[in-house]
Structure 1
Amino acid sequence: MSEPGVAALVEVLDSLVGLAPWRVRLGHGNFVTADFGRVVVPPGESGERGEWHLWIYGAAWRIDSARDVVAGSEDTREVMSAAVGGLEGERLLGVRLRTPSLGLDLDFGGVVLRVFPVTTRVEDHWMLFTPSGEVFVAGPGSRWRSGDASRIG
């Protein structure tokens, strides 16, 4: 995998702006996945996903409205699931990449999903799979890389 400058990461994240996520899910523990764009079945996989697929897994997260903290990644499963499900179909108005942590602010207008990397040497923070078959992996720490999604492991 290559390690290009952070500008390339910002550019790919900006490709999500204007799209509305579907199948936004709370996964194992506090993992969050969201699909954007058309439905695809990636080569070598049996299930479908979005042509853009975001997976938040090695980071804490929180959903904030203008007036309240809606939910956080350590809340009860019921609270987390309801908050994450509320993002379904909401158009993404903006993405901010926070450096050097590679945290994210995903602005859906009424709410913002904030991603907070919490490890510096152990886990990746999040992955973004793209329509071209490339995956962008943030973490651990302030490092990131990209490469062919079929070779990630």
Structure 2
Amino acid sequence: MDFTEFERIWSAVYGHPAWSVKKGHGSFLTLEFGPPSLRIREPGLASPDASEKVRELLGRRQVTVTGNWRLWIYCCNWSIELGGKEVAHNESPDDDITFAAQRLDGQKLLSVARGSTPSSWVFAFDLSGVLRTWPYDNDLSVEQWLLYERDSGDVLSVRADGLYSYGAGSRSPKDEVWEQM
């Protein structure tokens, strides 16, 4: 992927405020961008050998709100800065992460660029917010962040080793093609 293709993907997101910025499982972060839309999963039938918990979950209608784009900060170190000062990182207490996420909420994404160290990234926002990511030390083949495009179903995934994959989110992991950026 050359810089032009990377910018084409991200240019549609630039200028949109982040919303529903929150901590997920562990230290994962999610940020929504673009107009909200309801995603409705209708109740379904579980297989006969499914647990009671699975049957209960499948028996309910699930409604979630998503943006045109979802940025998922996945398996990596990260920090959030406000006004040039770090306010939280991936190992901060939950309250600090919640505070930092709330301060990113509503800020417009201005740019996404490589950071100053290998495989690091900088997400810059309009009200002095900065989200930085860099790899864990142990596994360079894991995805650091993923950008989901709701309308196309495509996903841009970037790994700690500098490789990327871009294509249908419905692909099997074995069908993903990883290329140098």
- Report the TM range for the smaller structure's normalisation: 0.7 to 0.9
Counterpart AA for 1:36: F
Change (3 A) 1:110 1:140: closer
Q: Which moved more, 1:101-110 or 1:130-139?
A: 101-110
Number of aligned positions between the proteins: 150
Q: Distance in 2 between matches of 1:26 and 1:97?
A: 23
Partner of 1:117: 135
Matched, 1:103 2:120: yes
Q: Which moved more, 1:126-135 or 1:40-49?
A: 40-49
SS of the residue corresponding to residue 12 of structure 1 reads helix
Alignment RMSD (CA, Å): 2.5
SS of the residue corresponding to residue 151 of structure 1 reads coil
- Give TM-score, length-normalised by structure 1: 0.83
Q: Distance in 2 between matches of 1:67 and 1:38?
A: 29
Partner of 1:69: 86
- Cα deviation for residue 25 of structure 1 reads 0.8
Greater CA radius of gyration, 1 or 2?
2
- Cα deviation for residue 50 of structure 1 reads 0.9
Partner of 1:151: 171
Partner of 2:6: 9
Structure 1 regions of 5+ residues with no counterpart?
A: none
- Cα deviation for residue 22 of structure 1 reads 1.1
Change (3 A) 1:138 1:112: same
Q: Deviations over 1:20-42 (max 9, x none)?
A: 01111100111000110122356
Contact 2:33 2:69 in 1 (8 A): yes
Contact 2:119 2:160 in 1 (8 A): no
Q: Which moved more, 1:10-19 or 1:90-99?
A: 90-99
Q: Distance in 2 between matches of 1:95 and 1:103?
A: 11
- Cα deviation for residue 101 of structure 1 reads 4.0
Change (3 A) 1:152 1:34: farther
- Cα deviation for residue 62 of structure 1 reads 0.6
Counterpart AA for 1:123: V
Contact 1:124 1:138 in 2 (8 A): yes
- Give TM-score, length-normalised by structure 2: 0.72
